[in-house]
Amino acid sequence: MEACKPILNTGLRGFTIASSRISDVDGDIGKIVYRGYLIQDLAQKASFEEVVYLLLFESLPGKAELQAFKEQLAAQRQLAPELIAALKTRPKDALPMDILQAGVALLAHHDPDTGDFTKASATRMGTRLIARFPSIMAAWDRIRNGKEPIAPKPELSHAANFLYMLSGKVPDEDVARFFDVCLTLHAEHTFNASTFAAREVASTRAHIYAATAAAVGSLSGELHGGANVRVMEMLLKIGSPERVEAYVNEQLNAGKLIFGLGHAVYKVDDPRALILAPMSKIMGERTGQPQWYEISTDLEKKAKKIFKDRKGIEIFTNVDFYSASLYYSMGIPMDFFTPVFALARISGWVAHVIEEQFAGAAEKPVLYRPESKYIGDYCGPDTCEFVDIEDR
């Protein structure tokens, strides 16, 4: 019998590599579920802390469980003085995602559980990571602007506390709730590039900090994270609704993209975008910047029509399209849009690392080890003859 040959599937698109109980995405109908719950229900009815609990422990918490978990997260927010001191030595123009990735490695140095390979220790480490991601980024923004980091407020929610540490002002209830919803919407999205990076590293039995650092590195690439930054840059360039149609035609004529439209998975509008859009409208009106939402809605409408008329294809709105104007209206620095993505997605990464290391051994090999197709033809079909250095 002829030996089985590996199937070349560039990018692993459409290739199932493992099973998971964490989330599911059906791009054909725009359906996202976390542990069986629709994203729309979680965004509308649950807090981010409830969603984190669901991702980590596979069920929604009761009142007492939620209160205890919120207190646990709040108690872990403070950064070690040594880490703050290290951040102060970094160049002020360092990329925020590089700072976050370095911060993950530094956090590992202060965690007593890194040498204990158990589910309980991984869960404790993961909870600390979820709690401290916002603290790292808020501290960095303060430091790079010549200010002292602000200590967390344990009485504030996860979302509100980050906005407080970033600006020094406690956000009002509506803004805190909007940001809480943003975190829920970005918390998890199956085997995306950064999650796969985390699981691949976790499959080697590396600790959760190593796996998370890999995920942050993956998210820093512009083909994964950063799309909403490009969306906001686009909105700023357009400037007013009157410029939208000309801009779309200019982009199409130049063979360029309209950022925030199109997705590798969705064949309909991303359900997360539908939740973010009305929040973007409200925040724009509240801050006296309604033009960013107005440009966005006009751009979405005109781009969809022009693409269909000129190219005969349908394009759909993704999560980045309205998160850009929403974050901008909240006063979040544009180069923090991707770190904010990470502040949410760390909860999904943690859940996946735990599942990879402690729940999936019976369903897949312990270690990811794909094959590659060698196409080197340096010496034709034969191997090259080694020539001593004196004769080269």
- The C-alpha atoms of residue 172 and residue 299 are separated, in whole angstroms, by 30
CB 126 within 8 A of CB 56: yes
224 is catalytic: no
- Whole-angstrom distance between the N-terminal and C-terminal Cα of the chain? 44
263 is catalytic: yes
Catalytic entry in 263, 269, 270, 352: 263
Backbone φ, ψ for residue 157 (5° rounding): -70, 170
- The C-alpha atoms of residue 252 and residue 231 are separated, in whole angstroms, by 16
Quick one: tokens of 369? 């080890």
Catalytic entry in 186, 207, 320, 352: 320
Write a three-state SS string for the chain: CCCCCCCCCHHHCCCCCCCCCCEEEECCCCEEEECCEEHHHHHHHCCHHHHHHHHHHCCCCCHHHHHHHHHHHHHCCCCCHHHHHHHCCCCCCCCHHHHHHHHHHHHHCCCCCCCCCCHHHHHHHHHHHHHHHHHHHHHHHHHHCCCCCCCCCCCCCHHHHHHHHHHCCCCCHHHHHHHHHHHHHHCCCCCCHHHHHHHHHHCCCCCHHHHHHHHHHHHCCCCCCCHHHHHHHHHHHHCCHHHHHHHHHHHHHCCCCCCCECCCCCCCCCHHHHHHHHHHHHHHHHCCCCHHHHHHHHHHHHHHHHHHHHHCCCCCECCHHHHHHHHHHCCCCHHHHHHHHHHHHHHHHHHHHHHHHHCCCCCCCCCCCCCCCCCCCEEEECCCCCCCHHHC
- The C-alpha atoms of residue 124 and residue 324 are separated, in whole angstroms, by 33
Q: Which residues are catalytic?
A: 263, 320
